[in-house]
Amino acid sequence: MCKRCKTKPVIKLSSGENLCKGCFLNYFEKKVRKTIRVHKLIGKKENLLVAVSGGKDSISVLEVLLGIYKGNKNIKVSALLIDEGIKGYREYCIKKTEEYCKKNKVKLNIVSFNKEFGFTLDKIVKGRRPCSVCGVLRRSLLNTKARELGATKLVTGHNLDDEAQTIIMNQFRRNMDASSRLGPLTGNENNNDFVRRIKPLYFMPEKETMTYAFLKNLTHDFNECPYNIDSYRNQIREMLNKFEELYPGTKYSIVSSFMEILPLLKKKEKVAKIKKCKICFEPSSSEICQKCKILNEIKSSKH
C-alpha cells in the first residue's frame, strides 16, 4: 500500500517507500523543484534551452519545467535537438519530440551533423569510437547553438545514474579535472563563450525518471542509441546496476559523497587560460579544439 494515501502503489523507491501514481508524481516534481531551489539553478529571469533527444530524461525535464514556469513571462522555455544522423533511431526520436513540442507549444530547434559538418555519424563511425566522436561534436554544437539562440542556461536531462557513471568513469581514468566540472550547475557565469548547463534531474534515479515518463504518458518506448551498447559508459552502467541490485542506494551514495568533495575539487582545479581555436575561433584550452581535431582527422581519412 502507498505509505502516504493507503492506495495501490506503482513504484517502490530505493528508500523502500511505496507510492501510488498521484503521490509519486507529486514526490518527483517536488524533488526536482527542491534541486532547482537549493542549487540555485534558475534565476528570476531566464531563457532556458532544453537539450532534447526524444528520450525519457529530456522529455521529463522539459515537462517538469513547463509545469513549474507555465505563465511566468520572465522564464522562457524552448528546446534544441541535435540530429547526429543515426538511421533507424534518430528519425523516430525527432518525430516524438516534434509531436510533444507541437502539443505543448514549445519552440523546437533542430540542428544536424550533416548540415553543420557535412556528414552523418553513421557515415564516419567505421574504425572509430562513435560515442567519443559524437560526444565532442554534440557538446560543441549544443554550446554554439545555445549561445546563438540567446539562451541563459542550457538544460540537460542527466539523472542520478548518469552522474554516478561519470563520477566512476573519471575515477577509473584518474580524470579529476573533468570531475571538478561536474555537479547540478556547471560553467563559469563570467565566461560569455560558454552557456552554463543545469541538471534539474541530478538527484533523480533513472528508474524514477522512467516511471515518471511512463505515468505522464510522455513516452512508452525507452529506446537506447544503438552505438551505446559497446561503450565504456554502458559497461560502467551495468556494473553499477548490479551493485544497486545487491546494495540499494549505492548510486545515491556515490553522488552524495561526491557532492561533499566537489567544492574541494573546484578549488584545486587548474584553470587553464582559455584560448581561441585557430580554426573555428571557438574557446579552447589548446590552439586547436577537440572538435576541429576530430573534423580534420575525418577529412584526412577521406583522401
Same domain, 165 and 147: yes
Q: How far apart are CA 262 and CA 77, in angstroms?
A: 29
The pLDDT score that the predictor gives to residue 180 is: 87
Same domain, 183 and 299: no
Same domain, 278 and 251: no
The pLDDT score that the predictor gives to residue 209 is: 95
* Residue 158 CB partners (closer than 8 Å, separation 6+): 57, 199, 201, 202
For the domain that residue 47 is a member of, what is the CATH number?
A: 3.40.50.620
The pLDDT score that the predictor gives to residue 231 is: 83
Same domain, 213 and 277: no
Q: Low-confidence residues of the chain, pLDDT below 70?
A: 189-190, 220-222, 269-274, 302-303
Same domain, 117 and 248: yes
pTM greater than 0.75 (yes/no): yes
Indicate whether 1 belongs to any domain.
no
Number of domains within the chain? 2
Same domain, 151 and 278: no
Residue range 33-80, pLDDT digits in tens? 999 999 999 999 999 999 998 889 999 999 999 999 988 999 999 999
Same domain, 176 and 301: no
Indicate whether 11 belongs to any domain.
no
The pLDDT score that the predictor gives to residue 302 is: 67
Residue in this structure with the C-alpha cell 523502500, named with its chain if needed: 16
Cβ-in-10-Å burial (0-12, 13-18, 19+) of 27 comes to middle
Same domain, 167 and 298: no
- Give Rg (Cα) of the chain: 20
Q: How far apart are CA 180 and CA 190, in angstroms?
A: 17
The pLDDT score that the predictor gives to residue 291 is: 93
**Which residue type does 179 have?**
S
Q: What phi and psi, each to the nearest 5 degrees, are found at residue 30?
A: -65, -40
Indicate whether 137 belongs to any domain.
yes
